[in-house]
A and B are shown apart, each in its own frame.
Chain A
Amino acid sequence: MLVSEFERLSGAACLTGAYDDREIACGYTCDLLSHVMGRGQADMAWITVQTHMNVIAVAALMDFACVIIPEGLPVEAAILAKAKEEGIILFSSGQTAYALSALLAQNGVLSARKG
Chain B
Amino acid sequence: MEMLKESYPVAANDMTCAGDVAAKIKRRIKQLGVPAGVVRRVSVCTYEAEINLVIHSCGGRIDLEITEEHILVHVCDTGPGIRDIDKAMTEGWSTASSAVRAMGFGAGMGLPNMKRNADEFAITSEVGVGTDITMIFHI
Interface residues in B92-112 (C-beta closer than 8 Å to A): 103-105, 107-110
Instruction: Answer whether A54 and B19 are a contact pair too, CB < 8 Å, given A37-B109, A42-B36, A115-B44.
Output: yes
From the candidates A42, A54, A61, name the one contacting B26 in the complex (CB within 8 A).
A61
Cα A68 to Cα B66 in complex, Å, equals: 35
- Contact of A58 with B by CB under 8 A: yes
Q: Which residues of chain A come closer than 8 Å to B51, judged between CB atoms? A: 33, 54
Q: Which residues of chain B come closer than 8 Å to A61, judged between CB atoms? A: 19, 22-23, 26, 43-44, 47
Summarize B's interface: helix, strand, loop or mixed: helix
Summarize A's interface: helix, strand, loop or mixed: helix
From the candidates B18, B105, B116, name the one contacting A38 in the complex (CB within 8 A).
B116
- Tally of A interface residues using CB under 8 Å: 22
| B interface footprint on A50-70 (CB within 8 Å = 1, 0 otherwise) | 101110011011110000000
Which bracket fits the contact residues of B?
20 to 34
Cα A38 to Cα B18 in complex, Å, equals: 18
Interface residues in B80-139 (C-beta closer than 8 Å to A): 103-105, 107-110, 113, 116-117
Cα A60 to Cα B39 in complex, Å, equals: 12
Whether B18 pairs with A57 at a CB distance below 8 angstroms is yes
B102 → A minimal CB distance (Å): 9
Chain B contacts to A: CB under 8 angstroms: 15-16, 18-20, 22-23, 26, 36, 40, 43-44, 47-48, 51, 103-105, 107-110, 113, 116-117
Chain A contacts to B: CB under 8 angstroms: 31-35, 37-38, 40-42, 48, 50, 52-54, 57-58, 60-63, 115
